[in-house]
């Protein structure tokens, strides 16, 4: 007779499963808590960075205010305007439904939440923002958005508090810069036309204008909403006609130059005055006009100035444009060659090309020009008030 199998009951296994399940549930709860809270922190960090980015960009645009051209001392008004814009844009970009406050940092400490300063080469990520030197050179705004115990409050956790982690601190930083070290222009379908006018002014005359040594006075004022009118805006003016700021130019030269073909027609000059220099124009110069390593390039000059472009100049009154600066010119008429050594941002204020030579005028004043087609390098270069759009450099 075969022996029957013993009736063995395992009673401890069910208890083990319960213990293991409890442990696993605790682990899963912890992982869920971590995932939820990490997701919340990531969301907050993303919102903080967007807030810092937008505020820094808005502040940097305010630094590029034309009051700087009127000799505003110490950049006081521009810095105040930049600070106000930073606060306004921070309020428009809440973090977890709460608008962060930005400390004004009146001492302009590098560790503050609003800092203005200068970057020589924004592409060099190792360069620190400089807050020393002349504030008139400031070209950057740094913004820090903080959620700490001392600033805007910490980020509370939802589930991690069960495990003793009740809150986290976060910070996001952004720096926006406008760069005026323009070394040339390259027009592409992405950038559009270069805002260059085919006019050249002697660099000494330009510098004399900035120094107040030479000018036609301050007889016009520009307002963004109303345009150009008679009045004073504390920005000196200069008559570009005749002679490109030089009393002894070779006979027949006004100061217009050929950008593109070496024998531009009046129609080409008219188009370039109204709409800028095209990619096709710059193809005649290898695709770009650049000061290069030598710091200069040459362009053919034109004879005289046709009254036919009067309407073109009148059409752009008040609009910012870039002219070329030269230091020497050789030859006569269409055989003249201008040595271009820099660029200057201007606006045309008044045009009169009829009557006697002494009564003709093309009155200009310095103005900021923002141009996507501009090429920049380290330092301020040989350009004045011409720059690429404000961008996030840090």
Print pLDDT tens along the chain (394 aa).
555 555 555 555 556 666 666 666 666 665 666 666 677 788 888 999 999 999 999 999 998 877 778 765 567 888 999 999 999 999 999 998 889 999 999 999 999 999 999 998 888 899 999 998 888 888 999 999 999 988 998 887 766 565 556 668 889 999 999 887 789 999 999 999 999 999 988 888 888 888 888 788 899 999 888 899 999 988 999 888 765 555 545 443 456 889 998 777 888 989 999 999 999 999 999 999 999 888 899 998 876 667 788 899 999 999 999 999 998 888 876 778 899 999 999 999 999 887 776 677 889 999 999 999 998 876 556 788 898 899 999 8
CA nearest neighbour of 53 among 16, 13, 93, 84: 93
Helices (H), 200-290: 203-211, 266-275, 279-283
Residue 251 has a pLDDT of: 41
Burial label, 226 (beta-carbon count in 10 A; 0-12, 13-18, 19+): exposed
Q: Output the pTM of the full model.
A: 0.79
For 279-310, what is each residue's pLDDT tens digit? 999 999 999 999 988 889 999 887 666 778 88
Residue 252 has a pLDDT of: 37
Structure-token pair, residue 90: 């921070």
For 315-352, what is each residue's pLDDT tens digit? 999 999 999 999 888 887 677 889 999 999 999 999 98
Alpha-carbon dihedral angle through residues 102, 388, 309, 325, given to the nearest 10 degrees: 110
Longest dimension (CA), the chain: 141
- Close Cβ partners of 66 (under 8 Å, ≥ 6 residues apart): 222, 235, 367, 368
Residue 7 has a pLDDT of: 59
Residue 319 has a pLDDT of: 95
The SS3 call for residue 363 is strand
Query: What is the DSSP secondary structure assignment for residue 216, as one 8-state letter?
Result: -
Rounded CA-CA distance 165/156 in Å is 9
- Close Cβ partners of 211 (under 8 Å, ≥ 6 residues apart): none
Evaluate whether 329 touches 301 at the Cβ level (below 8 Å): yes
CA nearest neighbour of 196 among 297, 335, 70, 123: 297
Residue 376 has a pLDDT of: 83
Evaluate whether 238 touches 365 at the Cβ level (below 8 Å): yes
Rounded CA-CA distance 100/151 in Å is 8
Residue 191 has a pLDDT of: 92
The SS3 call for residue 9 is coil
Evaluate whether 57 touches 392 at the Cβ level (below 8 Å): yes
CA nearest neighbour of 66 among 377, 365, 302: 365
Helices (H), 151-298: 203-211, 266-275, 279-283
Show contacts of 122-127: CB within 8 Å, 24+ apart.
Answer: 122/177, 122/179, 122/391, 122/393, 122/394, 123/393, 124/378, 125/394
């Amino acid at each position: 007779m075969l022996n029957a199998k013993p009736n063995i009951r395992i009673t401890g296994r069910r208890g083990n499963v319960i213990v293991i399940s409890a442990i696993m549930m605790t682990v899963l709860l912890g992982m869920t808590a971590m995932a939820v809270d990490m997701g919340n922190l990531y969301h907050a960090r993303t919102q903080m960075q967007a807030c810092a980015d937008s505020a820094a960009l808005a502040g940097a645009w305010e630094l590029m205010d034309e009051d700087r051209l009127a000799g505003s001392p110490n950049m006081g008004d521009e810095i105040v305007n930049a600070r106000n814009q930073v606060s306004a844009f921070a309020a428009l970009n809440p973090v977890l439904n709460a608008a962060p406050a930005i400390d004004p940092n009146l001492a302009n400490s590098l560790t503050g939440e609003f800092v203005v300063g200068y970057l020589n080469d924004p592409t060099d990520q190792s360069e620190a923002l400089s807050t020393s030197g002349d504030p008139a050179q400031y070209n950057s705004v740094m913004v820090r958005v903080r959620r700490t115990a001392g600033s805007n409050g910490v980020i509370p956790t939802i589930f991690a508090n069960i495990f003793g982690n009740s809150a986290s601190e976060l910070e996001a930083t952004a720096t926006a810069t406008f760069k005026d070290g323009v070394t040339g222009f390259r027009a592409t379908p992405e950038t559009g036309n270069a805002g260059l006018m085919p006019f050249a002014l002697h660099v000494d005359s330009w510098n004399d204008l900035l120094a107040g040594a030479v000018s036609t006075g301050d007889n016009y004022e520009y307002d963004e909403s109303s345009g150009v009118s008679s009045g004073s805006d504390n920005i000196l003016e200069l008559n570009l006609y005749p002679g490109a700021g030089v009393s002894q130019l070779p006979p027949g030269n006004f100061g217009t130059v050929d950008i593109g073909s070496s024998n531009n027609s009046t129609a080409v000059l008219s188009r370039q005055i109204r709409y800028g220099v095209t990619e096709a124009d710059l193809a005649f110069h290898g695709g770009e006009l650049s000061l290069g390593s030598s710091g200069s390039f040459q362009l053919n000059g034109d004879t005289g100035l046709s009254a036919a472009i009067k309407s073109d100049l009148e059409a752009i009154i008040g609009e910012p444009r870039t002219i070329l600066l030269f230091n020497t010119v050789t030859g006569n008429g269409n055989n003249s060659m201008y040595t271009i050594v820099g660029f200057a941002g201007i606006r045309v204020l008044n045009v009169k090309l009829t009557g006697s030579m002494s009564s003709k005028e093309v009155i200009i004043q310095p103005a900021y020009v923002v141009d996507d087609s501009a090429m920049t390098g380290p330092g301020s270069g040989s350009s004045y008030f011409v720059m690429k759009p404000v961008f996030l450099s840090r």
